Structure 1
């Protein structure tokens, strides 16, 4: 059963309402399309990242890695100073969905080969199938996987390792020891080759193009090193941004562009060294500390940390995650605030799930990992259309919207031309159906879609309700819209009046015209023609004048509505 509109009483329809609806629709023309709509708190289709979970099960997280094969979340951690009874240092393996600890590998070899509890400072690369290569203080290169009792490892000769990346072969890694860049064997830590640069301690490796970008913030330069020859092939000047502090150097594996977190900005150059632009974000005293990339969405994810120094202007203790299109550096999502994420206890790290649906950000100061999920505010793809119906007719309005997560819908109605809106009780489906009442005339209807990213509303649709035709064709003295027919055309008849007066006082020709006119007039119960005169031999249908013109118009209307005209013929009276 179709419910009536909840704000007005229903009204039964009649068979004649169908004809009135057809004629009214033809007169009104095509319905107005309302697709498009408007955003509420944010524009339609706005991308946001919302916090869905926080894990405090892995100590002071220093680096993150989502394993591409096993899908496990690997976390390299230090001990939390405030938990003296527990040492959380080591390699933690977590379930990405809820942060459950699968295992912890805390033991790794020292410089003499003796096992001991080791912090993990950097995750270098995934191992095939499962596990990770990592760096532990001061010069350790280790490997372990979920469930291992202890890590394998060896110590690199020379100074402390300041940065590392996967090497040009599966058995090697690239390490920086200050301004010295080396290729090192993973199993033995043997140095295969090395290069000493002017300065710096951080770098990024572009495996696709065989290039290392080694950043020297003190001299405002980044050097391009050919991995095959292990020689510098170009030096790119960096802009004088901030105090020269280098938060990170990362390469977009898809485009080869190098992103350098420098001072309070991120400076981006393409694979050839051409300057592409500068990314700003975070605001206030925030500085860029980590970056990750997703080839599927062509986006870069940058973590900005507050300095944690409240004496500095703009310092609020909160960090932020920003997302940018890698092709033009424009914003791809609204910035997501990271409460309490500051740099006093170390730099944050970021891991991006392929496709960009989920992002993990570490917060060393708070000893937690924040899981953020992508959401897109509703985008209207179909809206309700303006309608004209008769009272008692069934009305169905439909709206659709896209969004992540899928938005819910609620219909609203306005009785004051859209100045105020009320929710329609129970109308929470894509199609809202009700029976129109006379009181619904002029009311506007819209659908409101809501999800975690925002609110969007359709363009309102206006409902026009006309009075239903409740006449039956009999009784009383009906009006005479047809007036008096031509004297030569006979009477058009009064089907709505006396059943005995079909053709009026006309002649034989007039009787035929009266019969046709009576049938046309019967639909509304009105007398179409008046008293006729004597028709010529051709009869009423061959004559000219008002009666013939009206009959032609009536036949056109009825033909358009799909009605069949049935004539009933009565014998002429004689005498």
Structure 2
């Protein structure tokens, strides 16, 4: 059975990885885009639970309770039938690794004599530390870590079949078959009682002062008003074989969840049907827990353990559902070997839903599961243009729990195929852009236990490196020939000198004219695009055309300086 009290609400911290996908170089760049990218086999931000540990330090676990104050994991246990060890009692474990902190195994019998007692159900946490629990057949006990023995008393009447925290700190509610009673914890004396038509299990909604008493055999629930201790309404349950699973109340909404045969039926706080959850097979719902922070319900399903029954595979499952619409909030988790032949499983949820504990009475173990969220891309790159030889740096941003790892990928065929970049597994990948990188696409792939997500790709455009003013001067000089080309590199002033030069055997006029034009081309020594001879064919053709023009200008200058009547 599961604890019948709401744990103190809280929020578990979520690990995150902050990485940024930005293309930067010596040239100015544009900012990255808003969130986007794509998920892999699961959507971005998908929730999943994974097994991180299994504890075998507490015998055959019958119930679990995470103490809201001390944070210890209390386990009510029985002996494992196939072992000679006596492992029954109240065990206290370290939730992180299952280390046994202590065991309280002694409790009073019906005559007050101490003896080793199994703990069947954990009812409520004690202030600070410790727990109230039920032990066979009618014992109500209290103990905490370090106690040599539990305090306890026996309730008069039949065996206790269910229990929950009472309306006051000093009382508990107990069911003895169809009899519901409020009992003093210290003395087990009955304060008041009510006999119903049938049933033996119930759930208590403290916020609304309501007890939902379930009669599985007759397929109905009775809503008991705790103030008057009378039945206020009766709700019919779906017809079936009458198999009893659990009755639990969502402390936030007051909705009552009932495990029935191979499904869970849910009614609101007034008893109106909301919907149902079908296990989709032969597995039976045996426990449920709720988390107020995430507004999720955690249901444990056990296999019947009968291999002759079609569909029975011996494995159970944990499913997680939104309490608002009952839809799945996380992928189901297979619980290998968890079947109902040795008793019902129990579940305890850490506030915030970061950690969940599920007992397996058949195997004598407790499974610890941690919440994981698949990577969610929060920033994407935009297309960039960099010069060949300049450094390009890629950084990526995503969040997930646990923090995802990153691998950079590159595509040379417009995104049809992708390959991992060797060694690019850190948050930033930097490299010198080469002409061969022109048109390539880059993306980051983030991975954790919950899935894989990828950023949107960015296209890298690589231009030729700039060569400054020397390009224009050299080109002009080469066109004109002679020594005048050397002057072209000096820009406009060199060009003016070249214009005034006279024709000589060394071809200085042509060189000077070329220098002048070269200075005009180079300007202040910068070439925006295609200014280098080593650039694209278009740039080379442009320079060649410019050389022809410069030659024509040179001849015009020569003709202008000749005296009239002079011939060549």
Per the shorter chain, which TM-score range?
A: 0.7 to 0.9
**What is the CA–CA distance in structure 2 between the aligned matches of 1:208 and 1:220, rounded to whole Å?**
25
**Is the Cα contact below 8 Å between 1:58 and 1:75 reproduced in 2?**
yes
Residues 496 and 386 of structure 1, relative CA distance in 2, 3 Å threshold? farther
Deviation at 1:33, TM superposition (A): 3.4
User: How do residues 346-385 of structure 1 correspond to structure 2 at under 5 angstroms?
Assistant: 346-385=343-382
Q: Counterpart in 1 of 2:206?
A: 207
Q: CA deviation at 1:425?
A: 2.4
| Cα distance in structure 1, aligned partners of 2:375 and 2:446 | 6
Q: Distance in 1 between matches of 2:60 and 2:392?
A: 60
Cα distance between partner residues in 1 of 2:345 and 2:177: 21
8 Å CA contact 2:178–2:196 kept in 1: the answer is yes
Offset of 1:244 from its aligned partner?
2.1
Change beyond 3 A, Cα 1:277–1:504: farther
CA contact (8 A) 1:390 1:465 kept: yes
How far has the Cα of 1:230 moved from its partner? Answer: 0.1
CA distance in 2, matches of 1:478, 1:296: 78
Q: Deviations over 1:466-495 (max 9, x none)?
A: 223446212355899xxxxxxxxxxxxx97
Structure-1 residue corresponding to 2:39:
39
Q: Which residue of 1 aligns with 2:82?
A: 82
Change over 3 Å in CA distance of 1:187–1:375 after alignment to 2: same
Instruction: Report if aligned partners of 1:35, 1:384 keep a CA contact under 8 Å in 2.
Output: no
CA distance in 2, matches of 1:370, 1:459: 38
Q: 2:98 matched to which residue of 1?
A: 99
Q: Deviations over 1:514-549 (max 9, x none)?
A: 999775423457467765999xxxxxxxxxxxxxxx
5+ unaligned residues in a row in structure 2: which ranges?
A: 1-24, 480-490, 503-513, 524-530, 532-542, 564-568
Tell me whether 1:305 sits opposite 2:312 in the alignment.
Answer: no
* Structure 2 counterparts to residues 381-420 of structure 1, below 5 A: 381-420=378-417
Moved over 4 A (4+): 476-480, 494-501, 514-519, 524-534, 572-575
Question: Equivalent residues in 2 for 1:461-480 (5 A)?
Answer: 461-470=458-467, 472-476=471-475
Deviation sequence 1:21-46 (CA, Å, 0-9, x none):
67xx8xxxx67837411222221111
Equivalent positions of 1:155-174 (< 5 A) are 155-174=154-173
Instruction: Choose from 255, 269, 282 the match for 2:267.
Output: 269
CA distance in 1, matches of 2:418, 2:55: 42
Give, in whole Å, the separation in 2 of the partners of 1:360 and 1:305: 15
**Further displaced range: 217-226 or 415-424:** 415-424
CA change 1:497–1:438 in 2 (3 A) is farther
1 CA distance for matches of 2:386 and 2:337?
Answer: 58
Residue in structure 1 matched with residue 281 of structure 2 by the alignment: 284
CA distance 1:197–1:393, shift in 2 (3 Å): same
The residue that corresponds to 1:140 in the other structure is 139
**Secondary structure, aligned partner of 2:445:** strand
State the alpha-carbon separation in 2 of the partners of residues 517 and 234 from structure 1: 101
* CA positional deviation for 1:366: 0.1
What is the deviation of 1:294?
A: 0.8
Could you tell me how far 1:213 is from its partner in structure 2?
A: 0.5
Assess if the C-alpha contact under 8 Å between 1:310 and 1:317 holds in 2: yes
Map 1:210-229 to 2 at 5 A: 210-229=209-228
3-state SS, counterpart of residue 218 of structure 1: coil
Length-normalised TM-score, structure 1? 0.80
Q: Superposition RMSD on alpha carbons, in Å?
A: 2.9
Moved more, 352-361 or 446-455: 446-455
What is the alpha-carbon distance in structure 1 between the residues aligned to residue 216 and residue 478 of structure 2? Answer: 96
Please name the residue that 1:569 is paired with. Answer: none
Secondary structure in structure 2 of the residue aligned to 1:359: strand
For each residue in 1:194-225, what CA deviation from the matched residue of structure 2 results, as whole angstroms up to 9, or x when unmatched?
11111111100011111000011222211110
1:462/1:194 CA distance change after superposition, 3 Å: same
The number of equivalent residue pairs is 491
Displacement of 1:502 in angstroms is 3.7
**Aligned runs of 1:230-269 on 2, under 5 Å?**
230-240=229-239, 242-269=240-267
Change (3 A) 1:478 1:307: farther
Deviation at 1:498, TM superposition (A): 7.2
- Given that 1:390 and 1:468 are in contact with CA atoms closer than 8 Å, whether structure 2 keeps it comes out as yes
Looking at structure 1, the residues matched to 516 and 197 of structure 2 have their Cα atoms a distance apart, in angstroms, of 107
The DSSP-based 3-state class of the residue aligned with 2:473 is coil
Structure 1 residue matching 2:152: 3-state secondary structure: strand
- Per the alignment, residue 50 of structure 2 pairs with 50
Aligned to 2:318: 321
| Residues in 2 aligned to 1:134 and 1:351: alpha-carbon distance in whole angstroms | 15
Match status 1:117 vs 2:116: yes
Say which SS state the counterpart of residue 197 (structure 2) adopts: coil
When structure 1 is superposed on structure 2, of 320-329 and 522-531 the one drifting more is 522-531
- 5+ long unaligned stretches in structure 1: 1-16, 481-493, 506-513, 535-571
Q: Is the 8 A contact 2:495 2:517 kept in 1?
A: no
- 2:449 maps to what in 1? 452
Residues 350-382 of structure 1, C-alpha deviations (whole Å, 9 max, x = no match):
011111101110000000000001111111111
Tell me whether 270-279 or 519-528 shows the greater mean CA deviation: 519-528
CA distance in 1, matches of 2:516, 2:241: 98
Residue 217 of structure 2 aligns to a residue whose secondary structure is helix
**Superposition TM-score, scaled by structure 2 size:** 0.81
- 2:437 is matched with 440
Deviation at 1:308, TM superposition (A): 0.5
SS at the partner of 1:51? strand
Cα shift readout 1:173-211 (whole Å, capped 9, x = no counterpart): 100011110111111111111111111111000111110
Report the counterpart of residue 483 of structure 2 in structure 1. Answer: none
Write the distance in 1 (CA, Å) between the matches of 2:32 and 2:107. Answer: 71
CA distance in 1, matches of 2:493, 2:414: 41
CA distance in 1, matches of 2:67, 2:332: 26
Matches within 5 A, 1:149-160: 149-160=148-159
Shift of 1:66: 0.6
Q: Is the 8 A contact 1:495 1:502 kept in 2?
A: no
